[in-house]
Chain A
């Protein structure tokens, strides 16, 4: 058993629903107990869809368990087919139905329906939502793709499929618009977009493309790899999140399409790429690049104060790795933590983290992430809805970069993460929660202000001053090793590493006490870097086995760590 306060992903059948709901002319019959229809409101409320998800639930109850739940399932499949007449059906079980083992695939096959029926085996006690989506998409592609007898001849225009966007995906709608537009400007034809708005008939035509563009590996990697093996379609590996990654993506796509030779990357951004413009698409591309404001915004002097801001990144692997690159290379932040709940992409994540001299945090345990976040003491958190909970508790600015997200991150406006417009969105979104430059300077100079004090929220966010309790070092006698020491903390005291209330940013083991004047001086350091200063000073005192942290220790440590 795992103690779970918040879960990063739903069960795998929710992933299957995301694929079914994204598509058209597909119906999903889910063997599930009464109540599992809650998943409908993820689509009707959070994504605000105008129609019910194409899902029929058997909603069995306790009294049905004594009877024939298999018959209940067969009836549900039959009725769903008669009512909705889909081109293809998915059948599967939820976690509870998995326990009663009615074999949805076999039962549905026995009905001998006149359309393809794809059985889904989604182990609910081992796997999670994204895996469920990937598996469902893969099974659909496998079942429906029609393999041509002869290898496809390249047409006049290069042609690709765009794979990955689903229902309930973080900004999938707008990313798709952005990337579709970009591909059009490169002179590349789009064959099929899937699963978004695709029909089973569309999936059958997947073979009629030269290569695949994979936007979300969490959903589409398995299917893309299969298409590559079976049909020889190569697929893209660069995720176009951030201005530089978008340039790399363009280069990769052009390579696969063979249209624009070695496409001209932005000469300023990428010096070694020669701009050998060959055709009209590139001229169009220059116009697109001109709309890319984020590189200039990040270079403008106003953004100077962003240099070295400590940022902690957590999300799905795709968004976390992309965000880490944008944060460090494009905005000049310092990365102090990188992690993901996507275990399937552990290798990619570890490789990415190693580039920044970090160890990747790969976990789906909210409490572990909280402990890591607390220990890293960042000035900005880029994460999911869950990291907003933690950041709020710790009083740290936060922006959302990845699912799981709530209704406010399915906005009405165009808000992509991908492409050049996506990079513009990232700049605005990530900088917004930080205190603006002038205010930060003034806070460093004058401290006693009743209104603009270091413990208040940034004033551009429009909140009244919110006093935050002064952090006090709480020495805890019995404390386990690093990691998650909760189990060893005495029940009477505050669990180690987890603040009892907003304010105590961190608790470090066996630390010398602070002298009053040193504590006083520490408070003069602006709130968002104070936790780091405290930690460094205490580490410094520990390494020298000082009995007391004095005012001088504070400055000794400052000099030590800045050298």
Chain B
């Protein structure tokens, strides 16, 4: 433990009041999750059923940078589809047929619902079941909603994984009496996944699986013996779906920073019955190495004031990391949605008195931000350049979802994401 951090006797922010706001929300919808999920699950294809806006969104958010055959597309609704529902189902069959002919390598197809398809109540789950039957066994067809009216940004991953849970194979019955298995839930960068696998192995845990898997043919089995550890804070529905199949949630802080990673690994090991002191011993060298790597960043960041706009639900764990391990001061921590029970451990670690906000009224939040003049603002791309032009330094938040940030060996990389804009401002000013 770093000696500079005051030991807190209170319960952090667990009972702190949260400012709940409603108004204009400057956030992505859940469709955006497709941008990283299509790379993680390499034999899956994401077909959005929506409007031109949906197609334009994914394309602007990611697609225009990707000069290759994408593993996502949009079935754009037109007037004829709005006229009658029966016709829409036939149309969908036709589109899927054409798609599967073009991409014979697809093994799993997600029909992704959008605002228009939700509002006209197009039954995509029925379509998925029908298409699954038609294209079995080559392709499995699932559905989830990534619509803006129901999901915010990373919640798209939650909805996708939750839809996938029912199709996970059941653990064989003979496993019932056996030792429990650990399941790590949440899409992680491949390098991070490999590190965690090695680390669990070194601690003496071989029975560790990751969800989602890199291929639809290697999905992990699940059952009452499964203990699952969330790697991401935005997986409320997925956790519920896993619990419905008998798996049990292991509460832990999220593996961001040296402290978070250590607590997370230990919680996983403890849930599998490993000795705490023994695992602490194994973890210690990794933790120290991460701590050393963080030192230079701490010199830059300590005392700097940071303001979080809501985006991904990663804000609270990130704020905990920045305040406890890098000495930053938290002006306001905004999150699109606060899942109290999954974040209980995190909230306990936040300095008490931290201003938390859930939801958004972007104009009012901007007023608060301008009034506070923080040293660093974490916000989306729609706000970043305008705030820079006003003289504030920003860190665009989407990068935190697209970069390997979890685990000990990424702790310094994560810190560097926050030091870089400050350093850059300094350099360009000189």
Contacts and interface: CB of A to CB of B under 8 A. Distances in A.
Contacts of A5: 69-70, 73
A56 interface: yes
Interface in A93-150: 94-96, 99-100, 124-126, 128
B64 A404 contact: yes
B79 A125 contact: yes
B24 interface: yes
Interface stretch (A41-49, A348-356, A448-456): A41-49
Given A33-B29, A41-B60, A125-B82, A52 B149 contact: no
A412 interface: no
Interface stretch (B228-236, B261-269, B379-387): B379-387
Contacts of B65: 406
A271 to B, nearest CB: 45
Contacts of B383: 40, 44, 52
Interface in A1-43: 1-7, 9-11, 13-14, 33-42
Contacts of B57: 35-36, 38
B24 A58 contact: yes
B55 A392 contact: no
B104 A491 contact: yes
Interface residues of B, number: 68
Nearest to A61: B149
Given A3-B75, A38-B61, A62-B149, A124 B53 contact: yes
A543 interface: no
Interface string A492-518: 100100100000000000000000000
Contact of B24 (A76, A96, A385, A393): A76
Interface in B318-363: 363
Contact of A41 (B49, B52, B380): B380
A50 interface: yes
A487 B98 contact: yes
A320 B377 CA distance: 43
Given A4-B76, A6-B59, A37 B26 contact: yes
A57 interface: yes
- Interface of chain B: mostly helix, strand, loop or mixed: helix
B115 A96 contact: yes
Interface in A361-398: 367, 385, 388-389, 392-393
Interface residues of A, number: 66
B148 A57 contact: no
B53 A36 contact: yes
A4 B147 contact: no
B152 interface: yes
Given A34-B29, A38-B57, A11 B51 contact: yes
B52 A7 contact: yes
B150 interface: yes
B152 A34 contact: yes
Contact of A50 (B49, B53, B81, B386): B386
Nearest to B26: A37
A273 to B, nearest CB: 43
A50 B67 contact: no
Contacts of B421: none
Nearest to B135: A491
B101 A44 contact: no
B178 interface: no
Contacts of B99: 3
Contacts of B148: 33-36, 59, 61, 96
B56 interface: yes
A393 B69 contact: yes
Interface string B99-116: 111101000000000011
B120 interface: yes
Contacts of A57: 24
Given A388-B67, A486-B102, A4 B382 contact: no
A489 interface: yes
Contact of B78 (A2, A41, A60): A2
Interface in A473-493: 486-487, 489, 491-492
A463 interface: no
B104 A96 contact: no
Contacts of A544: none
Interface in A69-92: 76, 79, 83
A529 B149 CA distance: 51
Contacts of B78: 1-2, 125-126
25 contacts: A3-B95, A4-B52, A5-B70, A5-B73, A10-B52, A10-B53, A33-B147, A33-B148, A34-B27, A36-B57, A38-B382, A40-B381, A44-B381, A48-B385, A49-B385, A49-B386, A52-B386, A62-B150, A95-B53, A99-B119, A124-B51, A124-B52, A125-B77, A125-B79, A486-B102
Given A52-B386, A491-B101, 15 more contacts: A4-B74, A6-B63, A11-B56, A34-B27, A34-B149, A35-B30, A38-B57, A41-B380, A45-B385, A50-B386, A50-B388, A65-B149, A79-B363, A406-B64, A492-B104
The 8 residue pairs across chains A and B that have the minimum distance between CB atoms: A35-B29, A35-B148, A40-B382, A50-B389, A95-B51, A96-B115, A10-B56, A41-B381
